[in-house]
A and B are shown apart, each in its own frame.
Chain A
Amino acid sequence: MNALPRAIDLGVIGCPVCGLVCRTLPGDAQLDGDGVDDDMACPRCHSYLRRRKTNSYARTWALLIAGFLLYIPANVLPIMRTASIGDIDDNTIISGVVELWVKGSPDLAVIVFTASILVPMLKFLALGTLLISSQRGSDWARPQRAKLYRLVEFIGYWSMLDVFVVALLTALVRFSVLSRVEPLPGVIFFGLTVVLTMLASISFDPRLIWDGRNTDD
């Protein structure tokens, strides 16, 4: 036993919701999180107790792939239409960033670029890397991968930025024929992408990073 014992080896389990620590039997089939007979409850808050999140790999992969599929129309389709007399202008996420860079303020363009393009891409790459490396039981760069997961969890919801920008402009730019803004399907796909990638990062169990062949430090 090394200096940093893990709950799974000690025969204890921490409740993911309230943090209570309980004694268990090592290898208890009701706690393995495979979705079969997992009916152990935390004595304090009555949430399910599991050693690992249920079907973490399958669920995270499914949500991540679904999110990625919706991310394609989110970028290809325009997210917003600006209509004024005799002029209709459809904006995609990227053209919105370019426009902000050229006409408005480059610093905000950087923020929108980060929130709408960089963060989703980073999420796909990061979660994909975490999934593959953990499934292979790799012990490569474990502390860095743990850090990467916390980063993904923290930045995830900032991608919603562009959705709120479109919603606000739609509500405000309503000057009959002179000038109007309408939402286009791209923004719906983008909103769904953000939700799916957030769900994906929630279903990934970071403990799997440390579960590989040799957990000794």
Chain B
Amino acid sequence: MAFPNHPARRLNTCSSDALLVCENCDTVYRRRPLERGEVASCARCGAELDRHRALTVNALLALILTAMIVFVQANVWPIFTLGLNGQFNATTLWGMIVTMWQQDAQVVSVLAAATLFFFPMAKMLVMGWLLWFARAGRRAPGFAPLMVALHRIGPWTMSEVFVLGALVAIVKAHQFFEVIADPGIYAYGALTLLITIFSGVDMRQLWEQTPESAT
């Protein structure tokens, strides 16, 4: 991630509370506070502009800590076990990543490691770090670069796709093998639930909720 070296020139900041620009079509709106359950969408293109923030910083932090615990469980515990003639094989996420590497599918191995382990983990750690400081109304050390990193990681976490993939793999394997669901798959199920809750959370609110001076 390269940051431009030149400080901003000739740019005057409008009050960020006052204006809002639709990212999908460039239409400018005046912000207004939203009631519980309200979602503001763009009158031109229909994209979502803003939504009511039902979860407080404390609630978000609690959810992130839960997600971290579940994430550890999902990675440590085996996902499911296959049995054939009394012989049993189980795998964890990392077992799968290592096997793919050994089987000459390094590209797949790296993709899986990034989208199922490193990016989700980075996302949770960064969110936890930022929210921990936001609780006290402060900006965490490294606030701006971390907020930018969070934005970039956005589409590259795929845990929920992996859960569906595990279900498909179970059904496929079921024809030939004995399938035993292990705790890992339940942990992944719970993680998917938490990810769904987080998908509606806009971390950008932290820019407004924490004062600039308290960097």
Contact = CB atoms under 8 A, between A and B. Distances in A.
4 A-B pairs closest in CB distance: A14-B21, A164-B165, A146-B45, A171-B96
Interface residue SS majority, chain B: mixed
A100 interface: yes
Contacts of B99: 167, 170-171, 174
B168 A183 contact: no
B87 A43 contact: no
Contact of A172 (B20, B21, B173): B173
A108 B3 CA distance: 45
Interface in B82-129: 82, 84-85, 87, 89-91, 95-97, 99-100, 103-105, 107-109, 111-112, 115-116
Interface in A190-205: 191-192, 195, 198, 202
A95 interface: no
Nearest to A210: B25
Given A161-B168, A179-B84, 4 more contacts: A6-B28, A13-B21, A146-B45, A156-B155
B11 A17 contact: no
A25 interface: yes
Contacts of B167: 108
A12 interface: yes
Interface string A88-123: 000000001000100111001001100100000000
Nearest to A159: B161
B56 interface: no
Interface of A: 4-8, 10, 12-14, 16-25, 28, 39-49, 51, 96, 100, 103-105, 108, 111-112, 115, 142-143, 146-147, 149-150, 153, 156-158, 160-175, 178-179, 182-183, 187-188, 191-192, 195, 198, 202, 206-207, 209-210, 217
B16 A169 contact: no
A186 to B, nearest CB: 10
Given A170-B103, A179-B84, A183-B108, A22 B12 contact: yes
B11 A160 contact: no
A92 to B, nearest CB: 15
Contacts of B148: 17-18, 45-47
Interface stretch (B57-65, B68-76, B174-182): B174-182
B96 A168 contact: yes
A8 B47 contact: no
A158 B169 contact: no
Contacts of B166: 164, 168
Given A23-B11, A46-B3, A182 B169 contact: no
Nearest to B4: A41
B27 interface: yes
29 contacts: A5-B27, A5-B28, A6-B27, A7-B26, A17-B148, A19-B16, A21-B20, A21-B21, A22-B11, A40-B8, A42-B8, A43-B13, A44-B13, A44-B207, A46-B144, A46-B148, A47-B148, A48-B4, A49-B11, A104-B175, A105-B171, A115-B164, A143-B44, A161-B161, A167-B112, A171-B96, A172-B90, A173-B173, A175-B84
